[in-house]
Structure 1
């Protein structure tokens, strides 16, 4: 694990050389494929070092982090063309990749907490430095205070665990699962992850951060940073299993009902980035529900949906940015009739929108079918909420597609704008893994 980390760290000096933009993009592709071919053929921790290790859960999320970081460089050519501190921009992306790599490969709860919080720093710099609107300072403050305020009780809970177990290794946490009880400890350990996902009622920082962030910030927020909460929940639940069985109904109910309300919010959004951000909250509500069932099927399906949503939502933000670069606005009142202006992009809007509503053969379908099965097996009452959640998920996606692609062009534009090869390759690299991974998924694993 240390070899990949050193590779990423030694990319940092190259960031400040002139015209090394595409070389760094190629080297990030290279380290991704190096990691891809070091697949852990085991179901426990391997490649262990003093602080780092890898199992199947962390392996998939590390690959997702590296892939999204590569696509961030590919999507942000405007920073390179405008000469607006491109070297520092690359440094922020490499630093973020290092933090995410260390977060997902940590084998200690304390080091996971440190890197989990450190990953917010480069994201904050992306929003403040390359954001689009003057309100980006307020969005950065929302992001910082929501996450830091919720993470302080987590630190106290981690110290309490160490005081009782004298160890913070993930693969030793199950030993002390019977030693901990109390609602305060339970809330302290999971609240930071629920805010990070985010759960309904603590989600207000996410739409403002997405609206003000550049395309790279939106990609990493939707693609990876929202998955940190789900990963953390999966890691700490061995300590909270017996207590979670009693109180999980609170979080499942809040997440699913909140997902329906957020889906209704999506139907009245006029900003493309805000609509996609709210749809992320609705999808993460289902992920929280699946993890909180504490069943094998629910956790596996939540993991699949996290990977699928990371690729799909990041691709939708890229499409939104492509329209923004042409029109200078992300408003649906302006971005309409795009099938006339950019007919070549209409296909990509359709493909990624269909993935967002879990149409086959996307990986989203596998994750949502598994989550529906696990939640209904947990309690048949939630079926009534899931019906509305699935229906409105398709409704707001069709609303976004139809309002952006159809209608008369704003301000009388009749020219045809063709996309660049870079943009087509960027969208293809989002869509292709999303529909390819499902071919290698062994459904029998879910039946164990």
Structure 2
């Protein structure tokens, strides 16, 4: 595990040299393929070294982090052209990747907390440093305070856990059962804010709308998954109390997911719509994890990976339009099929994955989550039907509004899609739809 950490650390001098923008990206792809070929045990933590190791959950999320970071560089060619602090931007992405890598691979609960919170800082720098609108400072404050508000209770509960058990190793936690109400709430609230759960989700659309394309990609692709990863890890020793209280979170998530799906129809900013749809998808993940059965765990993991690729690709598409029209408003982004017909196909492919059409990973994840929630309570079927129906609805709304209709008369000059953009979209869509052929790796853990 240390070799990849040193790989990333030794890449930092490249950030300060001229014309190294694409080399850093190529090295990240190389690292991705090296990591992909590592040995993986389905049941246990493997490659243990220096308090680090990975199991099935960490493995998929580390791969996703490296992949999304490489694609972030690919999406940010505008920064390279305008030379907008490019070296610092590369350094920021590498720092973020190191912190995410450490978050997913450390096995000590306190170290996990440390890197979990530290990954907030480079994200904040991305939003405040390279964001588009002046409101990005306010968005950064939202992001910071929503997350920090619940992180102190998490820290205190980790100390309490150490005081009681004299152990913070995640693998050993399965031998303990902490049946304490305040401990339970303070332990999981930080992860629910990060997911984000309905009621504590307001920071996410704001951060997305103000963030640059790279910020949006990493937020949607990986940062939301930190919450899900944390929940999967801590539920092991909160089982007894969670059986009593899980209904609260599941009800909030299902009804909240339905409300957010309706709210998607009110959006006229493309990024805002995609950000709200992320909240609706993550509400299903929270529901699946809280049911604490096998289908829920597996489904939440698969949907997290699928949503990370799909949502990141959709933000890329909205940015491609933004670079041409300097606007993300659906009132101006109309009739795009006349200008970029082949880009229209990518809109269709990624939005169909977003509404969980086969053969995407989203479909597999949602099927599992629906099974787990229906087996938990048949009444949840009502909300699941509505969420699934409306997720198809707002995806179609975004597609038909942006691709069809009479194009805006304010478009004077226009250029078609670049090969870099098509490659970037393929690298989102191909793994998202081909990984279903090897779904048994993600499904058979125990």
| TM-score after normalising by structure 2 | 0.98
Q: Give the Å deviation of 1:418.
A: 1.6
Q: Which of the numbers 210, 213, 220 marks the counterpart of 2:211?
A: 213
Q: Which of the numbers 223, 227, 230 marks the counterpart of 2:228?
A: 230
Partner of residue 275, structure 2 = 277
* Aligned-partner Cα distance in 2 for 1:278–1:288: 15
* Aligned-partner Cα distance in 2 for 1:274–1:119: 23
Partner of residue 107, structure 1 = 107
Map 1:122-141 → 2, pairs under 5 A? 122-141=122-141
* Aligned-partner Cα distance in 1 for 2:50–2:407: 59
CA contact (8 A) 2:257 2:283 kept: yes
Q: Give the Å deviation of 1:417.
A: 3.0
Partner of residue 81, structure 1 = 81
Give CA-to-partner distance per residue, 1:245-292, whole Å, 9 cap, x none: 000000000001000000000001000000000000000000000000
Map 1:8-23 → 2, pairs under 5 A? 8-23=8-23
Q: Give the Å deviation of 1:42.
A: 3.9
Map 1:110-189 → 2, pairs under 5 A? 110-177=110-177, 180-189=178-187
Q: Which of the numbers 366, 373, 379 marks the counterpart of 1:368?
A: 366
CA contact (8 A) 2:96 2:119 kept: yes
In structure 2, list runs of 5 or more residues that go unmatched: none
Give CA-to-partner distance per residue, 1:367-422, whole Å, 9 cap, x none: 00111111000100100111111110000000000000011111254766321110
CA contact (8 A) 2:103 2:116 kept: yes
CA contact (8 A) 1:197 1:228 kept: yes
* Aligned-partner Cα distance in 2 for 1:27–1:7: 9
- Equivalent residue of 1:53, what SS? strand
User: Taking structure 1 as reference, are residues 235 and 443 closer, same or farther at Cα in structure 2, changes over 3 Å only?
Assistant: closer
* Aligned-partner Cα distance in 1 for 2:74–2:410: 31
User: Taking structure 1 as reference, are residues 343 and 416 closer, same or farther at Cα in structure 2, changes over 3 Å only?
Assistant: farther
Map 1:214-363 → 2, pairs under 5 A? 214-363=212-361
- Equivalent residue of 2:49, what SS? coil
Q: Give the Å deviation of 1:342.
A: 1.2
* Aligned-partner Cα distance in 1 for 2:69–2:414: 31
* Aligned-partner Cα distance in 2 for 1:392–1:220: 25
CA contact (8 A) 1:311 1:434 kept: yes
* Aligned-partner Cα distance in 2 for 1:344–1:57: 35
CA contact (8 A) 1:196 1:225 kept: yes
- Equivalent residue of 2:132, what SS? coil
- Equivalent residue of 1:133, what SS? coil
Q: Give the Å deviation of 1:49.
A: 1.4
CA contact (8 A) 1:319 1:349 kept: yes
Q: Give the Å deviation of 1:35.
A: 0.2
CA contact (8 A) 1:291 1:298 kept: yes
* Aligned-partner Cα distance in 2 for 1:49–1:241: 29
- Equivalent residue of 2:254, what SS? helix
In structure 1, list runs of 5 or more residues that go unmatched: none
User: Taking structure 1 as reference, are residues 418 and 444 closer, same or farther at Cα in structure 2, changes over 3 Å only?
Assistant: closer
User: Taking structure 1 as reference, are residues 147 and 421 closer, same or farther at Cα in structure 2, changes over 3 Å only?
Assistant: same
- Equivalent residue of 2:356, what SS? coil
* Aligned-partner Cα distance in 2 for 1:416–1:212: 24
| TM-score after normalising by structure 1 | 0.98
1:382 and 2:380 aligned: yes
Partner of residue 49, structure 1 = 49
- Equivalent residue of 2:129, what SS? helix
User: Taking structure 1 as reference, are residues 230 and 135 closer, same or farther at Cα in structure 2, changes over 3 Å only?
Assistant: same
CA contact (8 A) 1:342 1:416 kept: no
Q: Give the Å deviation of 1:107.
A: 0.3
CA contact (8 A) 2:136 2:207 kept: yes
- Alignment size in residue pairs: 446
- Equivalent residue of 1:38, what SS? coil
CA contact (8 A) 1:358 1:365 kept: yes
Q: Which of the numbers 171, 190, 193 marks the counterpart of 1:192?
A: 190
- Equivalent residue of 1:380, what SS? coil
Partner of residue 420, structure 2 = 422
- Equivalent residue of 2:46, what SS? coil
CA contact (8 A) 2:43 2:445 kept: no
Give CA-to-partner distance per residue, 1:23-63, whole Å, 9 cap, x none: 11110001100000104134101111122111111000000
